[in-house]
């Protein structure tokens, strides 16, 4: 058994990056490889007993994370700030612990979080790029106007019932979401959509982006887009954007023991400035 006793348990927070490509999402599932199970197994191997890892959010199959947050309890002699190094020596190459720290017992990765922020990346150049492919939706079939997408996003800010962007299969009892920020911007050949909210519905961002692309290419009007979510016309939302373009960017807390360099903006933007456009 591991060191210590139940009364000496300490809570440890982790900032986690993972490439979602070969994971069946965050949450532990029978017969599937998941992020939660992989990290739990590594911790259990160190402590010599099972542990439960509590995450800030449940990313879906194929979705990446630049700064997922989780916590677990342990009673070993390993200091909180050493767990990142200890775990990184045992985890596979598609998971990385950016930082670890001991936190107080009331602190909770999920329930203490004030918001989560996701980024969706759309690569719009006709020519494919191997280094961008794993992290973006390669969409070049029609020009996308970020101004139209931004105009569609702005009315979403606030507390709304977003059942139109709620996939079936969720155990959540309601579809109310407080959207705190919603923006679209372009970085040369990449179009980014970033959404920040107190929480997210199952499949929400991918369903939303699928419809925003229709708006951005002029296939769907701004009025129709707004009418769909205001009047909860779930049947009109038919397409979900590919998982690989979505990344859990960061999670916000009133008290967080990590410097911003560990968690704030750790998914690099793809930079094209200065690159030759010649064929």
Q: What residues are annotated to the active site?
A: 60
In Å, how far from its chain's centre is CA 53?
A: 17
Whole-angstrom distance, CA of residue 61 vs CA of residue 248: 12
Is residue 217 a contact partner of residue 143, using CB atoms and an 8 Å limit?
Answer: yes
Residue 159 CB neighbour total at 10 angstroms: 12
In Å, how far from its chain's centre is CA 11?
A: 23
Q: Which residue has the tokens 């990313």?
A: 59
Provide the CB-side half-sphere exposure for 201 (13 A, CA). Answer: 22
| DSSP state for residue 268 in the 8-state scheme | P
Collapsed DSSP state (helix, strand, coil) of residue 85 = helix
């Amino acid at each position: 058994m591991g060191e210590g006793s139940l009364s000496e348990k300490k809570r440890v927070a982790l900032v986690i990056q993972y490439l979602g490509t070969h994971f069946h999402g965050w949450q532990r599932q029978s017969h599937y490889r998941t992020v939660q199970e992989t990290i739990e197994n590594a911790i259990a191997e160190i402590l010599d007993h099972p542990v439960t890892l509590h995450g800030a959010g449940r990313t879906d199959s194929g979705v990446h994370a630049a700064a997922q947050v989780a916590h677990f309890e342990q009673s070993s002699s390993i200091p909180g700030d050493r767990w990142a190094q200890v775990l990184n020596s045992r985890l596979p190459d598609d998971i990385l612990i950016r930082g670890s720290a001991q936190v107080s017992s009331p602190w909770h990765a999920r329930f203490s979080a004030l918001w989560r922020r996701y980024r969706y990346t759309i690569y719009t150049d006709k020519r494919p790029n191997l280094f961008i492919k794993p992290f973006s939706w390669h969409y070049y079939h029609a020009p996308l106007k970020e101004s139209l997408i931004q105009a569609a996003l702005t009315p979403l800010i606030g507390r709304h019932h977003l059942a139109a962007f709620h996939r079936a299969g969720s155990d959540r009892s309601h579809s109310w979401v407080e959207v705190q920020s919603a923006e679209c911007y372009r970085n040369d050949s990449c179009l980014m959509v970033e959404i920040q909210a107190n929480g997210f519905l199952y499949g929400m961002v991918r369903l939303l982006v699928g419809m925003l692309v229709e708006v951005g290419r002029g296939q769907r009007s701004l009025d129709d887009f707004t009418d769909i979510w205001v009047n909860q016309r779930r049947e009109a939302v038919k397409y979900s954007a590919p998982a690989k373009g979505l990344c859990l960017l960061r999670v916000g807390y009133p008290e967080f023991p990590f410097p911003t360099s560990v968690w704030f903006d750790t998914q690099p933007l793809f930079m094209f400035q200065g690159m030759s456009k010649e064929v």
